[in-house]
Chain A
Amino acid sequence: MTTTETISVGFQNRAGTRSLINFLRNWALPILVVLLFVLSIFLVPKFAELTTIRAIFLQASLIGIAAVGMTALTLSGNMFSLGVTPTVILGAMVYIWVGEGTTSMWLGAAAAIIVVVILGIIQGFIVSLGLNAVIVTLAVGSVIYGVTAIVTKGALVEPSEKVDLAGFATFDIFGIPLPIVVFIVFTALAWFLTEHTLIGRNVHLLGANKETARNSGISPRATTVWAFIAMSLGFGIAAVIASAQIHSVQADQLPNLTLDTVAAVLVGGTAVTGGDGSPIKSAIGALFIATIAQIMVLTSVPDGLKQLILGIVVVALVVILHVLRKAGSR
Chain B
Amino acid sequence: MRAIGTWFKGYLLQFIVLVIVLASMYAFYPRFHVESSIERIMPLGVVAAGLAVTMIAGEFDLSIASMAAFSGALTIVLSPIGLVPALIISIIVGTALGALQGWAIAKLGINSLVFTIGTLILFRGLTWVVTNGVSVRVSDVTATDVFRDKIGFLTPLSLTGILIFIALGIFLAYTRWGREIYALGGARNEAIAAGVRYKRGMIVAFAISGGLGAVAGGMTSALGGSASPTAFGSLLLGALAVVLVGGISLAGGRGTMVNVFLGFAIIAILSAGLSAMGAKAFVAELFTGVLLLVVLVFDYLIGAIAENDRKKKLRKIATSEA
Contact = CB atoms under 8 A, between A and B. Distances in A.
Interface of A: 79-80, 126, 129-132, 134-136, 138-143, 145-147, 149-150, 154, 251, 259, 262-263, 266, 272-273, 302-312, 314-315, 318-319, 322-323, 326
A314 B282 contact: no
Given A79-B113, A139-B296, A314 B122 contact: yes
B221 to A, nearest CB: 17
B128 A146 contact: no
Contacts of B250: 132, 135
A319 B108 contact: yes
Interface of B: 60, 104, 108-111, 113-115, 117-133, 229, 234, 236-237, 240, 244, 250, 280, 282-283, 285-290, 292-293, 296-297, 300
21 contacts: A126-B296, A126-B297, A131-B296, A135-B244, A138-B236, A145-B282, A145-B286, A259-B121, A304-B127, A306-B128, A307-B121, A307-B129, A308-B125, A311-B118, A311-B119, A311-B121, A311-B123, A311-B124, A314-B117, A315-B118, A318-B118
Contacts of A79: 113-114
B286 A146 contact: yes
Contacts of A146: 282-283, 285-287, 289
B118 A142 contact: no
B282 A305 contact: no
Q: In this complex, which of A251, A266, A273, A318 has the most chain B Cβ atoms within 10 angstroms of its Cβ? A: A318
Contacts of B133: 302-304
Given A141-B289, A259-B117, A322-B108, A135 B296 contact: yes
A136 B237 CA distance: 11
Interface centre among B114, B229, B250, B297 (most CB of A within 10 A): B114
Contacts of A314: 117-118, 121-122
A309 B119 CA distance: 11
B110 A322 contact: yes
A90 B236 CA distance: 22
Contacts of A266: 114, 117-118
Contact of B122 (A147, A315, A326): A315
A304 B234 CA distance: 20
A143 B286 contact: yes
Nearest to A132: B250
Contacts of A136: 293, 296
Contacts of B293: 126, 136, 139-140, 143
Contacts of A130: 300
Contacts of B229: 304
Contacts, number: 144
B interface: dominant SS: helix
List 9 tightest A-B contacts by C-beta distance, closest first. A146-B286, A311-B122, A308-B125, A304-B128, A307-B125, A142-B289, A149-B282, A315-B118, A143-B289
A318 B296 contact: no
B74 to A, nearest CB: 14
Contacts of B128: 303-308
Given A272-B113, A307-B128, 10 more contacts: A131-B297, A135-B296, A143-B290, A146-B286, A259-B120, A272-B114, A304-B229, A307-B125, A308-B125, A319-B115
A302 B229 CA distance: 14
Contacts of A308: 122, 125-126, 128-129
B117 A310 contact: no
Given A135-B296, A311-B122, A262 B117 contact: yes
A326 B286 CA distance: 40
Contacts of B118: 263, 266, 311, 314-315, 318
A64 to B, nearest CB: 18
A122 to B, nearest CB: 10
Nearest to B129: A304
Nearest to A149: B282
A302 to B, nearest CB: 7
Nearest to A262: B117
